[in-house]
Amino acid sequence: MKNAITSCAAAALLVLAASLAGTASADEIDTIKARGTLICGVGSNTVPFSYIEDPQTRKNVGYDIDLCEAVAKTLGVKPELKFVTTATRIPEVQQGRVDLALASVTITPERQELISFSHPHLVTGTAIITPASRPMKALSDMENKRVSVIEGGLTGPAVSQKIPGAKPIGFVTPATAFLALEQGKVQAMAADETTLLGLMRSTPGKYAMFNEYLVLEKLGIGVHKERPKLLAAVNQTMLDMEKSGQAQVSYDRWFGANSPLKRKRNFTFSADTQ
């Protein structure tokens, strides 16, 4: 009798656990809809991903904002922006303080252990810029030089690994890392290519970018590992954007033909881009 009761109790616990797990999974979208907003972690001043274009409206615009707004529209809620840094963007997702991380998060095996990633939304690389007046034109010219990087990212380790003797100096934001270059505190800056192009566009011809990448990168939207339905909604939104042409329009506005950067789009939103 005792064994029978124990078995029944164990079975009941298993059923309850399964029920609770199913409820948690079902509620991940419902929670966002009940709140009425999709909270997106974005950079505060990262051209052309997320920045204030018009000081009068104080409204953030950019490539990441387009993605946030598209997913919010899919879910039938309003987008809500929360500013994050390179160091805080993944912890914010893990701790549930943001629903999506959209702050130039490179997909890596190590990060995939911490959070889930959408299909890549940008294919780019880690590049280096120096003042155009300096003779440095290649990675081999950067030995023993000081290089500004963004704290908490992969660029600092990449600089140390790929350039003998180089000294990566960390800064909290791309803007402060670029300011260090402008003030002559470092000889170069290393970051995502599109971030560097955005920073350079305010001073045409003053800085030059090396032709070779430190690292090839694919950026994705970060989602909590226990929110598979939200991840599926993000991926479906991206596929719909590609099919409708909205993905190309957004890219052209911020990076391509309709932007100062004039970059050619060499990828699509798809699972194959992984």
Q: Give per-residue pLDDT as tens, 224-267.
A: 999 999 999 999 999 999 999 999 999 999 999 998 888 889 89
Rounded CA separation 34/121 (Å): 28
Chunked mean pLDDT (size 10), the chain, 274 residues: 43 40 57 96 91 88 97 98 94 96 92 97 92 86 93 90 93 94 96 89 88 89 97 97 98 92 89 74
pLDDT of residue 27: 66
> Quick check: do 28-123+218-273 and 125-216 share a fold?
yes
Write the secondary structure of 125-144 as one string of H (helix), E (strand) and C (coil). EEEEEEECCCCCCCHHHHCC
Q: How far is CA 92 from CA 68, 99, 108, 191, in A?
A: 16, 9, 18, 22
Rounded CA separation 104/193 (Å): 11
pLDDT of residue 154: 85
Strands 78-83 and 122-131: unpaired
Query: Buried b vs exposed e over 102-131: b needs ≥16 C-beta within 10 Å?
Result: bbbbbbeeebeeebbbbbbbbebebbbbbe
Residue type, 31: T
pTM of the model: 0.76
Residue type, 263: R
- Alpha-helical (H) ranges within the chain are 2-35, 63-75, 89-94, 109-112, 155-162, 174-182, 193-200, 228-244, 246-254
CATH fold of the domain at 125-216: D-Maltodextrin-Binding Protein; domain 2 (3.40.190)
pLDDT of residue 55: 85
Q: Residue 1 contacts by C-beta under 8 Å, 6 or more apart in sequence?
A: none
Where are the chain's structural domains?
A: 28-123+218-273, 125-216
pLDDT of residue 15: 39
pLDDT (tens digit per residue) in 100-126: 999 889 999 999 999 999 999 999 889
Q: Residue 50 gets which letter from DSSP?
A: B
What CATH architecture does domain 28-123+218-273 belong to? 3-Layer(aba) Sandwich (3.40)
Nearest Cα to 214, choosing from 151, 131, 154?
154
pLDDT of residue 18: 38
